Amino acid sequence: MGEVLWLTAKLAGITTLLLLLLATPLSWWLARGRSPLRTPVTAIVALPIVLPPTVLGFYLLIALGPNSPLMALLQPFGVRTLAFTFEGLVIGSLIYSLPFAVQPLRNAFLAIGDEPLEAAASLGASRAETFWRVALPLALPGYVAAAILTFAHTVGEFGVVMMLGGNIPGETTVLSTEIYRLVEALEWGEAHRLSLLLLAFAFLVLFVLLALEARSKILLRTRA
């Protein structure tokens, strides 16, 4: 059981870290950019929220399978397939959890408004300095929310994980697929314990997010 917990935490941790890095420029562009492509890109980013996980998992299985044109590019490097591997699960989690990182960051960047950025520019700050010294600190609550949501969503995902990774012990078996295996094996007691663990985790995540939201509102009223 310790191995399953470690693999789950490892997958969620890596996914969260990578998505915070990848989602930052994308979220900034979606919030502050002026391109007409923002609307279709926003729709594509949000697609995993409404798309059935098994559908996304199926196409990822094809894309990362041995007969994929993508894998043909990697075969000279000794990579024949990423399906049913931990690395494949990371890629699937990055795609499926993308909106849970992008949306909080985009909303945080939008909430900053124009005044702080214009004030920094008027003082001679470059765009990079304005982002790192003004926008990023002000968007910190959005980063906290994005990290919590991404981690929790990755921990609880089942459809994409099962389709893309199967349930290989020590390689792709995480909490959600382990519960499925326990139910199939009629091991109800252990399934109950793991399910209660995920239930408590989900409640804690929601509690923290609501507390952060309430604190943000108080801070906004204080500043006003």
Find where tokens 């995902």 sit: 157
pLDDT digits (tens, 9 = 90+) for 173-217: 999 999 988 998 889 999 899 899 888 988 888 888 888 777 766
What's the chain's average pLDDT?
88
pLDDT at 222: 55
**Mean pLDDT value across residues 28-44:** 91
Top CATH class of 1-27+37-223 equals mainly alpha
Contact 160, 92 (CB under 8 A): yes
- For residue 1, the tally of other CB atoms under 10 A from its CB is 10
For 138, the token pair is 């002000």
Terminal-residue alpha carbon distance, the chain:
50
Contact 146, 104 (CB under 8 A): yes
pTM here is: 0.87
Give me the residue spans of the domains in the chain.
Answer: 1-27+37-223
Of the candidates 193, 203, 156, the residue with the CA atom closest to the CA atom of residue 9: 156
